[in-house]
Each structure stands twice: as C-alpha cells, then as structure tokens.
Structure 1
Amino acid sequence: MSMRTPITLLAATSLTLTAGVASAFEPSESVEFIAPANPGGGWDTLVRTSSRVIQEEGLADEEFAPINTPGGGGAVAWSQIAKREGDAHTLFATSPPIILVPLTESSRYDHNDFTPIARLSTDYATVLVADDSDYEDINDLLDAMEEDPGLSVGGGSAPGSMDHIAMAGLADAAGLDASSVNYVPFSGGGDAMTNLMGGHVEAVVTGAGEAVGQIEDDDSDVRALGVSSSDRLGGSLGDVATFEEQGVDYTFDIWRGVMGPPDMPEDAVTYYQDLFKEMLETDRWAEERDKLGWIDAYQGSEEFGEFLDSQADEFSGILGELGLLDEES
C-alpha cells in the first residue's frame, strides 16, 4: 500500500469565495460525494445531510452530488476512488471501516491510500430488535447469545468491520467469547434493517444516528436495547439506557469524516476542510446533528490524518485480542 504524504496546509489567500471560504481552489464542476454503501446507512446519512446543508446554506456554488457505491463494506468504492489520483472533485464519507476492513484483508486499500479532509462528528452504536421481540434489554440478548452461539446479529458492514467490532466488543465486555459472535454482514444499514424486519436475524447493531429515523417513524416496528455512549443520548433515543447503565462496562465511538482520492491538490484540501468547518458552524447543521444524535468532533486534514494513524494502531490491538486480525496484517 502506498504511504500517505503529510499534507502541508496552505495559508489562506486574499481570494474570498462563497460564504467566506478562502482558498486558491474552488470546484469548477459538480463534486461527487460518495457513500460507499447502499442508501440508509451512516455513510449515506452523512453524505446526504452534508450535501443538503452545504446547498441550503449557500456554502458552495457547485452541487455536491450524493452517490451510492455499495459493496465489500466500502472496498468496492475505495478501489474506484483509488484510481482517481489527483482528482479535486471527488469526496467520500468515511468512518472506522476504512481502518478495520483492510486489517482483515477485505480490501487492498487503507486510509494511507487516500487524502484526509476532515473529521466531522462522533456517533455511537446501538442494538435494535423487532418491536415484538422477547428481548427487553441488552442483557436478555446477551444471555440468549450465550445459550445459543448460533443466534444471528446483523450489521451493515463487513466481517471484522465497525458493526462487527461494536458487537464483538460488547460481547467480550459481558464475558462472552467475542470470536463466537454469529455476525451476519449486509451491504448497508438499510439492508440490515430489512433483514431484521424479515426475521432473518435476531438483532441488528448499527449507528445511533442511523437508528433515529427507524425509531421516530410512526409505523416503527423496532426497539433499541441500548447505546454505546457513556451518557444517554438526546432526542428519540433519550429513553434508551446505555450499556454501562445495564451493567456492561462498554462504550464505542463511531467517528465520521470525509476523505478524497490519492494526492488531492493541497489547495483543494484546504478549500474542503475549511468548507466543512464552516458547515459545522451553521444553525442548519446543528438542527440535523441534534436530530441524528451526533456530536461535533471537527479535525482538519493534518490532525485527522494523525488520528487515523492512531486508530489503525488501536484497532489492530482490538482485532488481535478478539481473534479477528488477519495473521498477515
């Protein structure tokens, strides 16, 4: 894999663009903003929410066009984006799978092969069941998993990736054999929810932000058994107890951010990181963020790149402890 070249951020020039974003670069055509999964998941939510806020707030002259490229827990999209070296008009949503999937040898590309733009927010994991499920809290589900290791838990990311790690870590914290968790991967959060409602899995682990839309739906047929935050979340998840409240000493953060193709021009990186920073400061973003239960956690390109490196080290250790790390990684 190629190593990422540290990005030296350019000083802001006197050229002022739309809404005050300063850079020597401005998009000259529509920007493809890729969600590496089917509609309905966390990447899709981030891409569509960000694109909508940017447009409604007039932060950019060119359109940010949401595009879904599902497959391989993100690997299909990454393989396509990796070929767009130097492209200044392609972005993609990212989160822990950009670290986790390559560690399990499910992708030949990792975070070093792309350009970090900005970390935007933090989300948390939640476990959902059908409304008519016999499981009333997270301990009911964990007890059932202990009695029946074949009990299936679905997620919208690949084996060894974010949803799997979130569930395996929860099981490990509860004293179960994490490597025995019967995790069933689907092509995205929406697909996982469809299979939950179809009775093909007993539960689904997903981002809390993804779960909000399902729970707030008047015709909702799902319930949340717990969340991985240290404190209760607000909004429609305000009544959902944390795992810690239920006696399981476990938290799990799901950070979300934006990356670009390899070797994106430095002035384009500066433009986009500043654009997303300004987006996070708008009232419109605050409304969307609060509805989704996200927490702002902005980092610019350079700091985000360093954070990704630290996450790679941390997740390597976690996967190793859980017996999920590819021996050659």
Structure 2
Amino acid sequence: MKKKIIVVFTLLVMLINGCSLDSDPAVVTDEVTIIAPSSVGGGWDLTARTIQDILISENLLDGDIRVMNKIGAGGELGWKYTKQQKDHVLAINSSLLITNNLLGQSKLTYKDFTPIATLATEWEVVIVSKDSSISSAKSLMENLKKTPHAYKIGVSPRLGNDDQLSFVLASKQAGLPPEELEFFVYENSGQVVDALLKKQIDVATMTLSEAKKYYDLNQVKLLVISSKERLNELPEIPTWSEEGIELVFEHWRGIMGPPNMTKDEIQFWDRTIGEMVKTEKWQQTLQKYMWNDFYKNSSETSKFLDEQAKLYEVLMGG
C-alpha cells in the first residue's frame, strides 16, 4: 500500500508541474531549413552549412536539416522569404540587415524577426592581386588621397556592409573623403577575387575567411587586417594601427527566425545552439576560419541588435 501511495504522489507532482515522462521534449522534430541569403561559398553560406553539419553530426536535432540559398539584393530576398515562413525556418544574418534599412535599401529591420543567436565575429582585410604594385595599406591610402579615383575597389554583396564600411572608416581616418572612392559591387567574394585577378578592379575588401583561401593559393596579397594586434596564425599581416590608422573592426554573423516564434521554439533553439557552440567541432571551426567566439543567446542577441542599430546609425551618419 505504501509503495502504491508513493507512485500516485509522484504522478500527481508530474501532472501539477506540467511534466511528462520525457521532461524535455524537442519542439523541432521535422525538417528545418536554414536560409543562406547568398550564393554558395560566401560567408553566410559557410555559416549555414557549418551549423547544418554540426547539428547533424553531433545528433543535436531529431529532424532533418537543409540549407537553402536565396540569392539577391544583399540578403533581402532571403530575409523576405524567412519573414513569410511559419514552419521551422531560420536565416543567417549580419549587420547588413541593419545597414540595408539605414541606407533606405530595405524596409526590413532586425525587429521584423525573432533573434535566435549571435555566433561569431571575424576580421576584415584589404587584398590586392599577387602581382599588384600596391605594397601596403599605407601607400594605398596615400595614393588615394592624391588621386581618389586611382583605384577601383571591389566589394560584395552590397554597399553598406561591413566590408565596405570598414574601408570607409579607414579612409576617413586617413583624411580621404569616402564619397570620392569608387566601389564596384559583386554578388559574392569569389566574383570579387575573379575581377581582381582579371585586373577589372585594383583592390578588394572582405572578411578574412573569404580572402584566406585565395591567399593560401598565392593568388592575392593581404595588405592589412582590422584586428587590434597581429594574429598568431598570420603574423606577417599588419594591423591598421601599424599602417598609421587607428581602426579595430569586427564583423559578426548570427541566426534569426520568422516573427512570432513561440516561447517553446525560442527555448529549444537556445538549448540546441547553446549545445552546438560547446562542441569540439564548433571550436575547430572557429580555429579553422579564424573566427572569434561571440555566442549570445536569444535574449542577449536582442539587446545586442539594439546596441548595434544605434552604433551603425552613428557610424553611417557621421
């Protein structure tokens, strides 16, 4: 009789607390789609496929997961698609979600989505072709000051992103009016480098992970990096401060969902992404691409986006 009373009491406690025999049920058990709002091989795509790989290989998700590339308008098409979804769809984002709106290129804002996580940051670099006569970022800026239209500068996927903004901020520091610079926009970093090698442009600005593969192939020179100090992995690459310009600039990427996601869904992704960034495979990814760990959960990301919106408004209005 005593044993029977204990069992009944336990079941009552579970019912009162809203528990079940599986106390932590997965919210997402069917197919998940991650939108990479760019072509294959870009930073957004690389981030999406890395998440896909780790969630599958580490058994962090019960359902299937796929990556869908929605290309166009500097992320706009992919993010518009994400906003319209009600099923399990997430999208990779970056500061371009904020700057597109500030530049009047999009009506979308970060407030149109559910923040899921901020994942990592990386540094910006300036590159030239291997046989370019440009030997340093300092000489580049000095030449641009004399003749602003002397060099064509490549950027992707849209004006107003961190690639362009980091170069603009450096040029301001050098006393060069940014509006006199000639920027040429390409769909992705691969097209930028292709134009660089074909002499269609003279200089390019992009993230380190996008540029490094071409550097490793001995196709480009890295003139400068936006980090505070030289990287141990690339000790030969000087910082902007070493080139006489006080600039430290980090580019971040994160992940978000459609509006009106439920509390349970948000908690599920907090738990799942939180586990992902603890895995050895994620740490290896950070090391491989020289990304910096910058994980923030949903609520932390919400505050971070508010801060970033104010920051970019100042940077782009100054």
When the two structures are superposed, what TM-score results if normalisation uses the length of structure 2? 0.89
- Which segment is superposed worse, 206-215 or 243-252? 206-215
Q: Report the residue type matching 2:162 in the other structure.
A: M
2:93 corresponds to which residue? 94
2:170 corresponds to which residue? 170
Q: Against the structure 1 CA distance between its residues 69 and 216, is the aligned structure 2 distance closer, same or farther, given a 3 Å change threshold?
A: same
Q: Distance in 1 between matches of 2:209 and 2:19?
A: 38
Q: 8 Å contact 2:52–2:66 — kept in the other structure?
A: yes
Q: CA deviation at 1:194?
A: 2.0
Q: Report the residue type matching 1:226 in the other structure.
A: V
Once the two structures are superposed, residues 124-180 of structure 1 have per-residue CA deviations (whole angstroms, 9 ceiling, x without a partner) of: 111111111111111122123223322211111312222221111111111111222
Q: Against the structure 1 CA distance between its residues 245 and 111, is the aligned structure 2 distance closer, same or farther, given a 3 Å change threshold?
A: same
2:216 corresponds to which residue? 216
Q: Does 1:253 align with 2:250?
A: yes
Q: Report the residue type matching 1:34 in the other structure.
A: I
Q: Does 1:206 align with 2:203?
A: no
2:136 corresponds to which residue? 137
Q: Against the structure 1 CA distance between its residues 63 and 203, is the aligned structure 2 distance closer, same or farther, given a 3 Å change threshold?
A: farther
Q: Distance in 1 between matches of 2:270 and 2:229?
A: 29
2:13 corresponds to which residue? none
Unaligned runs of 5+ in 2: 1-17
Q: Against the structure 1 CA distance between its residues 320 and 275, is the aligned structure 2 distance closer, same or farther, given a 3 Å change threshold?
A: same
Q: 8 Å contact 1:25–1:267 — kept in the other structure?
A: no
Q: Against the structure 1 CA distance between its residues 63 and 199, is the aligned structure 2 distance closer, same or farther, given a 3 Å change threshold?
A: farther
**Structure with more of its chain in helix, by fraction:** 2
Q: Distance in 2 between matches of 1:193 and 1:181?
A: 19
Q: Report the residue type matching 2:253 in the other structure.
A: R
Q: 8 Å contact 2:83–2:257 — kept in the other structure?
A: no
1:154 corresponds to which residue? 154
2:313 corresponds to which residue? 316
Q: CA deviation at 1:198?
A: 2.1
Q: Distance in 2 between matches of 1:199 and 1:67?
A: 33
Unaligned runs of 5+ in 1: 1-12, 322-329
1:275 corresponds to which residue? 272
Q: Does 1:80 align with 2:81?
A: yes
Q: CA deviation at 1:107?
A: 1.1
Q: CA deviation at 1:296?
A: 0.6
1:187 corresponds to which residue? 187
Q: 8 Å contact 1:34–1:67 — kept in the other structure?
A: yes
Q: 8 Å contact 1:23–1:271 — kept in the other structure?
A: no
Higher-Rg structure is 2
1:233 corresponds to which residue? 231
Length, aligned pairs only? 300
1:3 corresponds to which residue? none
2:14 corresponds to which residue? none
When the two structures are superposed, what TM-score results if normalisation uses the length of structure 1? 0.86
Once the two structures are superposed, residues 174-196 of structure 1 have per-residue CA deviations (whole angstroms, 9 ceiling, x without a partner) of: 11112222121212222222222
Q: CA deviation at 1:23?
A: 5.2
Once the two structures are superposed, residues 54-96 of structure 1 have per-residue CA deviations (whole angstroms, 9 ceiling, x without a partner) of: 2222221223212211211111111222211x43x11111111
**Pairwise CA RMSD of aligned residues?**
1.9
Q: 8 Å contact 1:25–1:268 — kept in the other structure?
A: no
